[in-house]
Structure 1
Amino acid sequence: MSTFLLLLVAAAALTTLYILVKGVIGMAQGKDVTGARSQSLMRKRVMWQAVAIIFVILFLLVARGSGN
């Protein structure tokens, strides 16, 4: 179970990184005049960060429980 949660943490973190890089590249290109795409990517990044944090908390709880 710990290995599975660790993989989920890694997947969520990599997804967050991908969205972050995509947003930075989009801002550097300057094509998004209204900022709608940037806002959409920001919301997705925050959501995936929250998912990653939840997976980390679950991982820590499972690791703590199996240590006893």
Structure 2
Amino acid sequence: MSLSNVLVTLAIAVVAIVLLLGLVNMMRGGSPQRSQQLMRARVMLQFVAIVVIMLVIWAKTSHS
């Protein structure tokens, strides 16, 4: 598995984990403030994941 594949997988996994933490918090009736923090973190991490994916695509297409 190449480094680019690991980075993309890691970025997606981190987003999924934060999403699941937010869902669990809401289902348990947890703090709305915590849900909001998790939602903000998820949005930021999604942005980072998209940037990582785009950089990997760019790197793979520019070196072929």
TM-score with structure 2 setting the length? 0.90
CA RMSD of the aligned region, Å?
A: 0.9
Q: What residue number does 1:43 align with?
A: 40
- Structure of higher RCO (CA pairs closer than 8 Å, 6+ residues apart): 1
The match for 2:30 is 31
Name the count of aligned residue pairs: 63
Q: TM-score normalised to the size of structure 1?
A: 0.85
Deviations 1:1-48 (A, max 9, x none): xx222211111110000000010011000032xx11011000110111
Cα distance in 2 for residues equivalent to 1:20 and 1:31: 14
User: 1:5–1:58: 8 Å Cα contact kept in structure 2?
Assistant: no
Q: Which has the larger radius of gyration?
A: 1
Q: Displaced runs of 4+ in structure 1, greater than 6 A?
A: none
